[in-house]
């Protein structure tokens, strides 16, 4: 190739899930694969949603662009949904619909930060967050992983790391990769810290529909001044099992949405329109279906906790929730990638190595169970007990 490429991209890691899938490409022998790599539900959206979308295809509008920040009905429905969940006052003008929550993060970071700025990002991070910040030339300032605090980062550490170029604090709860559910008090403490420094808390709640209890995850929206310091990110991919439709949302101050719209106009013009129709249908009709899936995931959390408690494999559970178990492997001194590759090739268990989620994660492996039923957990544990590395 005779031309040069953007060195910022060149320095970014390869997409981790693609690499993990590469380990089992062409696999024909061995026990049936237990795929605990990607955090996507295996089940399909309900047939009623599919039928609804088929009907919507007859509308000539469906192939046209939607407004940049989303269908007005969807913005209003999502605002009402959030308000129902969290209380407070959330209006359609606070919502921008995006092409998935990854794009929501990308657009928000473009809106908040420029090259040379800093963003606080706890370890272990969701790898696409780090990758995007690297591409922008924005420095991710990491907070230490705190297994001793159930995986919840320490606001005091963040306070010490905020500087003149810090533009945001990012939290993910329920967390990917750890599954940790941050207590409301911790989320509030981070929000208060961010407010003191006139920066927003960017809270990725992709997995909010898989919380174990009925209590709201936090009370931040109940504060009438929430738009001054909170940016919430959401994904419709998981709740409605529609990852391929690519729909997510940013909920924030209208002034942020107005700037973000410029970036959205350039990268996608609008989120996929049929997907927006799917999200709108889901918000209006699928609450009981989502509740059923939440119960299924809760059961899986119980099954995962049970097998790790009982098995003598040396793999120990650090934290677990939503779709994820973060596990300490027993092969001390071995790279997480080697352990994950061994699990895939020798035992037929596909996982993501901790190293994909940032520095200092070599002792850990992420198991995602959205894709694997509770009934498969004993077999998974049986195979882990056979884990021997040369
Ligand atoms: C924390 C987190 N944010 C965002 C996403 C991406 O969601 P979407 O499919 O809406 O882009 C994921 C998907 O795994 C995730 O785990």
CATH number at residue 73: 3.40.640.10
Mutation to probe ligand 1, out of 210, 235, 370 (largest number of atoms < 8 A from CB): 235
Residue 344 near residue 24 (C-beta atoms within 8 A): yes
Residue 51 maps to a domain:
no
What CATH number does the domain containing 298 carry? Answer: 3.90.1150.10
Evaluate if residue 191 carries a pLDDT over 90: yes
- Are 216 and 172 in a shared domain? yes
Find where tokens 């963040």 sit.
Answer: 158
pLDDT at 310 over 90: no
> Above 90 in pLDDT, residue 41?
no
* Res 248 pLDDT > 90: yes
Neighbours of 340 (CB within 10 A): 27
At residue 1 the predicted structure's pLDDT band, cuts being 50, 70 and 90, is confident
Q: Residue 240 pLDDT more than 90? A: yes
pLDDT digits (tens, 9 = 90+) for 94-107: 999 999 999 999 99
250 lines ligand 1 (CB under 6 A): no
Q: Which atom of ligand 1 is nearest to the CA of 247?
A: 10
Residues 353 and 379 in one domain: yes
**Has residue 231 been placed in a domain?**
yes
Protein residue whose Cα sits closest to atom 2 of ligand 1? 206
pLDDT at 40 (0 to 100): 86
Pocket lining: 92 vs ligand 1, CB cutoff 6 Å: no
Checking if the pLDDT of 30 tops 90, the result is no
* 177 within ligand 1 shell (Cβ under 6 A): no
297 in the same domain as 280 = no
- pLDDT cut 90: percent of the chain above it: 91
Q: Report if residue 54 sits inside a domain.
A: no
Is residue 137's pLDDT more than 90? yes
User: What's the pLDDT band for 39 if we cut at 50, 70, 90?
Assistant: confident
Q: Ligand 1 atom closest to Cα of 323?
A: 16
Domain termination residue (choose one: 235, 256, 285): 285
Q: Can you give the pLDDT at residue 48?
A: 97
Asked whether residue 1 is assigned to any structural domain, the reply reads: no
- Rounded Cα distance, 80 and 300, in Å: 30
Q: Is the pLDDT of residue 29 over 90?
A: no
Q: How far is the CA of 206 from the centre of ligand 1 (A)?
A: 6
User: Among residues 285, 314, 347, which one ends one of the domains?
Assistant: 285
Q: Is the CB of 39 under 6 A from ligand 1?
A: yes
- Residue 237 CA, ligand 1 centroid: distance in Å: 8
| pLDDT for 116 | 98
Whether residue 371 has its Cβ less than 6 Å from ligand 1: no
What would the mean pLDDT of 4-28 be, rounded to a whole number? 92
pLDDT higher for 19 or 112? Answer: 112
Identify the pLDDT of residue 111: 98
Quick one: 70 and 148 in the same domain? yes
Could you say which of 285, 309, 344 is where a domain stops?
285
Residue 49 lies in a domain: no
pLDDT at position 296:
93
Considering the domain architecture, whether residues 258 and 298 belong to the same structural domain is answered as no
Mean pLDDT of the chain: 96
Q: Is residue 82 part of a domain?
A: yes
Residue 379 phi/psi, 5° resolution? -65, -40
Query: Which residue has the CA at smallest separation from atom 7 of ligand 1?
Result: 101
Of ligand 1's listed atoms, the one at least distance from the Cα of 102 is 11
> Ligand 1, closest atom to CA 126?
1
For residue 103, the ligand 1 atom closest to its alpha carbon is: 11
Same-domain status, 23 and 72:
no
CB 112, CB 200: distance < 8 Å = yes
Cα–Cα distance measured from residue 117 to residue 265, given in angstroms and rounded to the nearest whole number: 24
Question: Same structural domain for residues 179 and 293?
Answer: no
Domain that holds residue 165: 59-285
Residues 17 and 97 in one domain: no
Q: Is residue 315 part of a domain?
A: yes
CA gap 30, 51 in Å, rounded: 39
389 falls within a domain: no
For ligand 1, say whether the CB of 100 is within 6 Å of any of its atoms.
Answer: yes
Q: Is 178 in the pocket of ligand 1 (CB under 6 A)?
A: no
204 lines ligand 1 (CB under 6 A): yes
Using the predicted structure, report yes or no on whether residue 28 has a pLDDT greater than 90: no
Do both 216 and 295 map to the same domain? Answer: no
In this structure, the residue with its CA closest to atom 13 of ligand 1 is: 39
What are the tens digits of pLDDT across the range 69-87? Answer: 999 999 999 999 999 999 9
Number of domains in the chain: 2
pLDDT value at residue 271: 98
Average pLDDT of the segment spanning 207-235: 96
Confidence of residue 298 (pLDDT cuts 50, 70, 90): very high
- Output the CA 31–ligand 1 centroid distance in Å: 30
pLDDT at residue 227, as a whole number? 97
| Sign of the CA dihedral running 272, 277, 278, 283 | positive
* pLDDT score for 371: 87
27 and 161 assigned to the same domain: no
129 and 184, same domain (yes or no): yes
- Both 252 and 357 in one domain: the answer is no
Distance 350 CA to ligand 1 centre (A): 19
Task: Give the list of residues 6+ apart from residue 97 with CB closer than 8 angstroms, or none.
Answer: 66, 69, 70, 71, 74, 75, 78, 247, 248, 249, 270, 271, 276, 279
CA 291 to chain centre: 19
pLDDT over 90 (residue 390): no
Choosing from 17, 45, 102 the residue with most ligand 1 atoms within 8 A of its CB, the one to mutate for a pocket test is 102
Query: Is there an atom of ligand 1 within 6 Å of 234 CB?
Result: no
Q: How far is the CA of 100 from the centre of ligand 1 (A)?
A: 7
pLDDT score recorded for residue 313: 87
Å from CA of 135 to ligand 1 middle: 18
pLDDT in tens, 153-178: 999 999 999 999 999 999 999 999 99
User: 248 CB less than 6 Å from ligand 1?
Assistant: yes
Ligand 1 neighbourhood includes 102 CB (under 6 angstroms): yes
């Amino acid at each position: 190739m005779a031309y040069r490429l953007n060195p910022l991209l060149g320095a970014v890691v390869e997409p981790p899930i693609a690499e993990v899938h590469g380990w089992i490409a062409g696999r024909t022998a061995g026990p049936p694969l237990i795929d605990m790599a990607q955090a996507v539900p295996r089940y399909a959206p309900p047939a009623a949603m599919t039928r609804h979308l088929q009907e919507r295809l007859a509308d000539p509008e469906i192939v046209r662009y939607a407004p940049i920040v989303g269908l007005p009905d969807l913005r209003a429905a999502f605002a009402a949904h959030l308000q129902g969940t969290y209380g407070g006052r959330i209006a359609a003008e606070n919502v921008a619909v995006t092409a998935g929550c990854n794009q929501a993060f990308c657009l928000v970071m473009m809106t908040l930060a420029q090259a040379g700025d800093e963003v606080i990002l706890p370890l272990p991070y969701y790898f696409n967050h780090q990758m995007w910040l690297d591409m922008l030339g924005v420095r991710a300032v990491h907070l230490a992983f705190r297994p001793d605090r159930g995986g919840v980062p320490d606001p005091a550490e963040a306070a010490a790391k905020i500087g003149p170029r810090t533009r945001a604090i990012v939290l993910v709860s329920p967390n990917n990769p750890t599954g940790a559910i941050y207590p409301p008090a911790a989320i509030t403490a981070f929000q208060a810290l961010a407010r003191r420094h006139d920066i927003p808390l960017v809270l990725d709640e992709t997995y909010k529909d898989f919380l174990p209890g009925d209590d709201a995850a936090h009370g931040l929206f109940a504060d009438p001044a929430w738009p001054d310091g909170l940016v919430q990110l959401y994904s419709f991919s998981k709740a409605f099992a529609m990852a391929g439709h690519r729909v997510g949302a940013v909920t924030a101050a209208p002034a942020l949405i107005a700037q973000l719209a410029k970036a959205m106009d350039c990268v996608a013009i609008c989120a996929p329109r049929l997907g927006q129709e799917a999200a709108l249908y889901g918000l209006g009709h699928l609450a009981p279906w989502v509740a059923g899936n939440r119960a299924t995931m809760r059961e899986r959390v119980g099954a995962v906790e049970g097998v790790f408690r009982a098995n003598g494999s040396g793999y120990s559970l650090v934290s677990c929730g939503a779709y994820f178990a973060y596990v300490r492997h027993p092969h001390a001194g071995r790279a997480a990638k080697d352990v994950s590759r061994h699990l895939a090739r020798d035992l037929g268990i596909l996982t993501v190595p901790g190293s994909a989620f940032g520095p200092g994660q070599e002792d850990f492996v992420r198991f995602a169970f959205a894709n694997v039923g509770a009934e498969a957990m004993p077999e998974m544990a049986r195979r882990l007990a056979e884990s021997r590395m040369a």
